[in-house]
Structures are given as C-alpha cells and as structure tokens.
Amino acid sequence: MPERAEDVVTWTTVAPGITSVVLERPPANALGMALLEGMHLAMDAAEKAGDVKVVVISSAIQGFFAAGADIKHLSSIDAETFTAYGDTMRQVNDRLAASPWISIAAVDGVALGGGLELAMACTLRVSGPRARFGLPEVKLGLIPGAGGTQRLPRLVGRGRALDIMLTARQVAADEAFRIGLVDRLTEGDVLDAALAFAAELVGPSLPAQLSVVRTVDAAFDLPLADGARFEVEQIQSLFEDGEATEGISAFVAKRAPTFR
C-alpha cells in the first residue's frame, strides 16, 4: 500500500499559538515523497489556522530526527528524476524558512543529509546530548542539494562548514552547540525543551520577531550600509502595521500589549 502523507507527518496544537509537527516514517525518517508532502500539509494547516506563532518539528522515531534522502528511491532514478526530487526537498525547506512563524527543530538523534538541511531551514534548533549532525553526501559522490551548502556556512562559518562537508563526519551535540549549529542544548527531554523554548517565543510581537529574523539574515547577504537601510525599513513597517504603536502604548499604560 502506498504511503500516505498524513500517516508519516502529523500535527496538533499543543498550546495557544504553538503547533507540534511530528515525523514518523520508520525506520529512520528518510525523506520520501510522502514525508515531504506531509510537511506541506502541516504547513498548509498552520497557515490556515491563522494564529500559529511557533512550529516545533520533532520525530517519533527513536534515535532519529531524519536520516536524509531516501537512498532506495535515489538508487532507482536517473539524473533528471533526481533533480526533480531535489527540487521537492528544496521547496519544503525554502517554504519552511520563509514561513510566517518561528520554527524550531527538536533534534534527539541523527540528523544527516536532507534531515540536517530540514533542521537548518528552521529558525532555531534544540538538541539533546545524543544527537548527531552531518552532511555526508560526498561519500555518495554528491553534494548537499537542499540548501545545505548555503545554510551551513551561514550558521557555523566557511571553514567549519567545509570541515563538516568535506570529511562527511558526524558532529556531536556538544560541538554542534559550541559552533552555533544548535541554539540550545538540553540534558532533559528534547521535545519538552523545544516546547518550553516555544512558550518563551509566543509572548512578543510575531511581526517584530519575523522582522528580526529577516534583518539578521540580510546581514549575511547585504553590505553593511544596505543592511542598515533594510533595518530602518523593517522598523518603519512595524509602525505602519500598528505593532510598534501597540507595544509602546501598552508599555506606557502599564498593560499587556495586544499584538497581531
């Protein structure tokens, strides 16, 4: 029986403004077409809900966040079909990176290849001590093809990114935290830690938070003067849509702000 997207990716509201997305494609959450389509369905649902501020992505498979591309699928396709498969992976990651909410990858286990690319497309990453990260595509005569060569250097720098990709080695959780690949490292339950992180994020203005993300990302792509101008534009937009006015008024009135 063909896999169904809704069977390998599920989502639920776990608290006001927080959606939990769970990957479950045994044995290792390889990124088959059903899982990729399931990610689109989960994002469709979050957009339709209209009140989602944080999405937490985790795995129900013990020891794995996601093991990467579906190698069995790759072994049976030609270059043209491989390119189409890569496009599907990139579309998921690009949509996730540009989504109208904050996303957190809760990584408790292995995140390799496309699995790490999926985690890097999230706004933030939370890891447990047994997590392992890597982009081992050179062992297959390939390179990371779903954003890995672009996002990893932005997170850890050129030299560290080359080290990880050229050696195809797996990065332990403590090193991943030290070099900035992981944003929070917990000794406890990873999903609990990610959901607690999400709870910290639901209070402030989401438009302001997304402006922060866009402006910080622009710092990697624009000259300083252009980045500073973009920062001003983002501030102006927050006054135009009322978020800044509401936040300042609430502070002066000593009341809780009502953000969009």
Catalytic annotation, residues: 117, 137
Number of CB atoms found within 10 A of residue 232's CB: 10
Phi, psi for 105 (deg, rounded to 5): -90, 125
- For residue 115, the SS3 value is helix
Phi-psi region of 68 (alpha: psi -120 to 50; beta: other; left: phi over 0): left
Reading the block at residue 121, the tokens are 């497309």
CB 21 within 8 A of CB 56: yes
Dist. CA 141–CA 250, nearest whole Å:
57
List beta partners, residue 58: 22
CB 146 within 8 A of CB 86: yes
Dist. CA 124–CA 36, nearest whole Å:
20
